[in-house]
Amino acid sequence: MQSDETDHFRLSGDIALVTGASRGIGQAIAFALAKAGAHVVLNARDPGQLEASRSELAAQGLSVSAIAFDVTDPSAVAAAVAEIVERHGGLDIAVGNAGQSLRKPVGQFDRAEISRLMDVNLGAALVLAQAVAPVMEARGGGRILLTGSMLGQIARPNNALYSATKAGLAGLARALAVDLGPRGIRCNVVAPGAVRTAMTETAALDPAVDAFVKQRTPLGRWATPQDVAAAALFLVSPASAFVTGQVLFVDGGMSAQA
């Protein structure tokens, strides 16, 4: 008997790590993966915010735990992965969602700002892949998902550094797909457009910004974190078993038009 197609989106028995999971898109991805049957380890730097997020998801009957560490610290990442393996027996899914934005004219970025944003948004993704790949290989394979952005494909004023880091994630995912594919590990990018979260709420309440987003987006609305999470679930589930090295835009068509 053939399995139900919904089984292709089940993650029963999987262990997943989601960085930047204390709020917004990261928390929504963690919820979606846990709802699909995975045990999800939430990560953020702030232990207080992290525990609040863990408690919120656990209260809904989901299997979650938490571990605080800085994604830019290779030793901390390696220690966290080792702890996850010790506690749960392995790691099947790693979602590199932690990131930062810094808007200013291109000539005003100083060297420290450049290094910091490159480290958080791009370098940390490679550090995560380095840490999880041997563990995933020992399990017979795994899935790495990186949170990119529509702004890695198109440009907006005062976002040169952020756009560069997110474009870099697309290249990194392709490289990881080639390098890690023979070891049974897939790597993809989910690239949101304009997403309405607590961080963007002020902008969304500005009538001019709201009108611009809705006019510029063929589907005529902001994305929700759940829109992004649904795409993320697809990319780490058996439903995408032959998909690797790809960028999936969740932007309502904004990047498709001139």
Query: How far apart, in whole angstroms, are the C-alpha atoms of residue 178 and residue 50?
Result: 34
C-beta separation of 171 from 248 below 8 A: no
Query: How far apart, in whole angstroms, are the C-alpha atoms of residue 58 and residue 104?
Result: 39
3-state secondary structure of 132: helix
Active-site position among 9, 31, 69, 162:
162
Phi, psi of 169 (to 5 degrees): -65, -35
Tokens coding 61: 């009957």
Tokens coding 195: 């997403």
User: Is 15 one of the annotated active-site residues of the chain?
Assistant: no
Dihedral of CA 238/31/190/15: which sign?
negative
Give the start-end residues of each E strand in the chain: 15-18, 39-42, 64-66, 93-96, 142-147, 185-192, 247-250
Phi, psi of 106 (to 5 degrees): -60, -30
Tokens coding 73: 């610290």
Tokens coding 6: 């919904």
Query: How far apart, in whole angstroms, are the C-alpha atoms of residue 190 and residue 210?
Result: 23
Q: Which amino acids are annotated catalytic?
A: 162
